[in-house]
Structure 1
């Protein structure tokens, strides 16, 4: 049998990267999305056909959180994650030969604002507020399924850094225009993962048939915001970076229709379980990651 992978919500920055890498390894990749050329969410028959005899399902579906948290957007952010997860779970239950592994994306934002200590899978404290409610509901809709022949892994992803999308463009623009100083007080922690390590972690989990449950998907070396911005400036050869105080960030967030939480929440997450089971990071530090991405 040929190797087959299904990526739901596979048209964004992460999905495109994963599709390309898996195709390079000889996998046939099926994409489920709202875009015309892919399998549509309403087409149960095609979804079942893609999942049947597949090696793995990766679900990345969900409306971007880079928006204002008004009532309409909040509803869409939640439903676009929980409803798609339920659709996939129900489809797997109907498969004769279901995927061996189902990886559902989750988020490191599930943990509380942490400035005192790192959050691991075993000792992390779940936070409160809208973003955390979304994350907990998302994971619940995933683990509510009991699938006898499919391993389930929820990847609590930190901010993904890569060449062609995500947060790289806004950060590099700030630095380029001389605004690459600390944001807020600069002490908030920034947990991140290089997109190549994300891909390698997925391959690692596919091979390790003994692993399931929740995994923090982040570099072992998070940095505070001051250090992050300094690393960006050094990588880009920019000497000066003006800081952005909290009041200015709040005004800016309204203007560009986003939320300051994306910058000011302290996400201090350590991938304890991945380290324990022997995963080795290719890009363990922010300087190595940025040197690769910005070269």
Structure 2
């Protein structure tokens, strides 16, 4: 499929870069909305916005084939009152702003995909959580997901199809969770974390781009969509697979109490590691999507083939 214009709001981060590079050869232009100007690369350009108020950037949304909103402060931090407010505001304010702008456009974007999180589901070790039968969890991170999605779906955009993409843990070569876990393996600390029975619902970085492209082509899909590989894996098996693939025979386990101590030292929360995320992408499977990286072994081999 050939696209005219792709807009990536908050697209100067990790996932934004993946999407920009993927869509660049497929589109006439890719426009990133960012707080700071960036040099133009091929047909990828940047428009400055503050993500809080309308500006000249609003004109770029006219006649866009796709708008992807990736705005949001990284949750890999301590949940202090200040960080909690910034985590919420950095998601809700840009989403609300984009909705209000779209309402004013003559030819609004055909599809608006808003980043969301698969962590919205409860801690699950008994069964996978899909879009229809999954149970919403509780706690701060879930509350963030709920208000984020509510803001998105409360906007009135009758001429723009909307999808909240509930993304799992992104596995990539240069950013995200994988390089950090690989470092633990390299240092001999790549054993299970906690009791190791918690599930990890993951997605290869390139799969996110392929799924985004698929969703533009399937106009029957709207609402909430899980963006995870169909195969979840337990933490202990995942860490063992990284060790085996990388060639490290052993890895010291990290008990929950030590994780809690380490999280305080490095400024994060143990929830990011100990919560069991068992999520199933039922809508994608029902639509006929074929995963390029459907098995974790294939994904790890691909990532390590670049890192080594």
Query: What SS does the corresponding residue of 2:249 show, helix, strand or coil?
Result: coil
Distance in 1 (CA, whole Å) between partners of 2:87 and 2:63 is 31
Query: What SS does the corresponding residue of 1:165 show, helix, strand or coil?
Result: coil
User: In the alignment, which residue of structure 2 is the partner of 1:85?
Assistant: 95
Shift of 1:210: 1.4
**1:177 aligned residue (187, 204, 210):** 187
Do residues 40 (structure 1) and 41 (structure 2) align?
Answer: no
Query: What SS does the corresponding residue of 2:283 show, helix, strand or coil?
Result: helix
**1:220-263 CA distance string (max 9 Å, x none):** 00000011101111121111111000011001000000000000
Distance in 1 (CA, whole Å) between partners of 2:223 and 2:96 is 17
Q: 1:47 touches 1:91 (CA, 8 Å); kept in 2?
A: no
Comparing 129-138 and 232-241, the one that deviates more = 232-241
Distance in 1 (CA, whole Å) between partners of 2:285 and 2:220 is 15
**2:122 aligned residue (96, 109, 112):** 112
Distance in 1 (CA, whole Å) between partners of 2:248 and 2:5 is 45
User: In the alignment, which residue of structure 1 is the partner of 2:206?
Assistant: 196
Distance in 2 (CA, whole Å) between partners of 1:285 and 1:69 is 33
Query: What SS does the corresponding residue of 1:35 show, helix, strand or coil?
Result: coil
Q: 2:168 touches 2:202 (CA, 8 Å); kept in 1?
A: yes
Do residues 163 (structure 1) and 206 (structure 2) align?
Answer: no
Distance in 2 (CA, whole Å) between partners of 1:27 and 1:13 is 22
Shift of 1:163: 1.1
Shift of 1:24: 2.3
Q: Map 1:215-226 onto structure 2 (within 5 A).
A: 215-226=225-236
Shift of 1:125: 0.4
Q: 2:194 touches 2:274 (CA, 8 Å); kept in 1?
A: yes
Q: 1:3 touches 1:54 (CA, 8 Å); kept in 2?
A: yes
**2:159 aligned residue (128, 149, 152):** 149
Query: What SS does the corresponding residue of 1:44 show, helix, strand or coil?
Result: coil
Shift of 1:45: 3.2
User: In the alignment, which residue of structure 1 is the partner of 2:85?
Assistant: 75
Shift of 1:82: 0.6
TM-score where L is the length of structure 2: 0.93
**1:80-114 CA distance string (max 9 Å, x none):** 00111001101111111100000001100100011
Q: 1:220 touches 1:271 (CA, 8 Å); kept in 2?
A: yes
Q: 2:129 touches 2:135 (CA, 8 Å); kept in 1?
A: yes
Query: What SS does the corresponding residue of 2:77 show, helix, strand or coil?
Result: coil
Distance in 2 (CA, whole Å) between partners of 1:201 and 1:225 is 25
Shift of 1:197: 1.1
Q: Structure 1: any 5+ residue segments left out of the alignment?
A: none
User: In the alignment, which residue of structure 1 is the partner of 2:14?
Assistant: 13
Distance in 1 (CA, whole Å) between partners of 2:218 and 2:282 is 16
Q: Structure 2: any 5+ residue segments left out of the alignment?
A: 39-46
User: In the alignment, which residue of structure 1 is the partner of 2:255?
Assistant: 245
User: In the alignment, which residue of structure 1 is the partner of 2:42?
Assistant: none
Alignment size in residue pairs: 295
Query: What SS does the corresponding residue of 1:77 show, helix, strand or coil?
Result: helix
User: In the alignment, which residue of structure 1 is the partner of 2:273?
Assistant: 263
**1:253-274 CA distance string (max 9 Å, x none):** 0000000000000001000111
Do residues 94 (structure 1) and 120 (structure 2) align?
Answer: no
Q: 2:3 touches 2:26 (CA, 8 Å); kept in 1?
A: no
TM-score where L is the length of structure 1: 0.97
User: In the alignment, which residue of structure 2 is the partner of 1:291?
Assistant: 301
User: In the alignment, which residue of structure 1 is the partner of 2:43?
Assistant: none
Comparing 161-170 and 257-266, the one that deviates more = 161-170
Shift of 1:2: 6.8
Do residues 139 (structure 1) and 149 (structure 2) align?
Answer: yes
